[in-house]
Amino acid sequence: MFHVEHTARATGLSTSPPILRSDLSGHRDPNARQYLKVGGYAGTGKTTLVGALAKAFEQLGERITYAAFTGKAVNVLQKKLAQVGISGNFSTLHSLMYKPELDPSGKIIGWTKEDEMPYTFIIVDEASMVGAEL
């Protein structure tokens, strides 16, 4: 089993908040909660924790992508995670979820929603801004 507490200790973060004692081994269980919310004030280590989790899961062979609601937020997220050694696939939620339909000339004529994505984890920045319909 993989525990956030182990990752937090490895990065020097406190393990006192309840979120850091959460067991993430249920991510493959369809009956388990399929999300983990990380919250806190600015400067409390959210990015460091997410970076450590992402590195640990990538080492286990998990496929991770990073998304935010707007292009500007994606750029900020990418820069923040680069500071803790994370690179990878970054996109807006809509770019992640929808692919363009093109006419023969290459002009976008519509959008197709992706039924499945090739990722084990989608890390969403500012997820509270995202409505349930997404």
In three state form, how does the secondary structure of 57-75 look? HHHCCCCEEEEECCHHHHH
Judge whether 97 lies within some domain: yes
**Per-residue pLDDT for 54 more than 60?**
yes
pTM for this entry: 0.68
Using a 10 angstrom Cβ sphere, with 0-12 exposed, 13-18 middle and 19 or more buried, the burial of residue 76 is middle
As for how many domains the chain has, the answer is 1
d(C-alpha 72, C-alpha 117), whole Å: 23
Judge whether 50 lies within some domain: yes
Judge whether 42 lies within some domain: yes
- In this structure, is the dihedral angle defined by the CA atoms of residues 125, 40, 24 and 29, taken in order, positive or negative? negative
* Residue 111 vs residue 56, higher pLDDT: 111
Return the pLDDT at 91.
Answer: 93
Judge whether 132 lies within some domain: no
Q: At 69, is the pLDDT very low, low, confident or very high (cuts 50, 70, 90)?
A: confident
What's the mean per-residue pLDDT of the chain? 75
Alpha helices in 1-134 (DSSP H): 4-11, 46-59, 71-82, 93-97
d(C-alpha 61, C-alpha 31), whole Å: 22
> Residue 104's CB: how many other CB atoms inside 10 A?
5
Judge whether 133 lies within some domain: no
Using a 10 angstrom Cβ sphere, with 0-12 exposed, 13-18 middle and 19 or more buried, the burial of residue 29 is exposed
Q: At 29, is the pLDDT very low, low, confident or very high (cuts 50, 70, 90)?
A: low
- Determine the structural domain holding residue 110 and report its residue range: 4-127
Per-residue model confidence as pLDDT tens digits over 4-22:
444 444 444 444 444 444 4
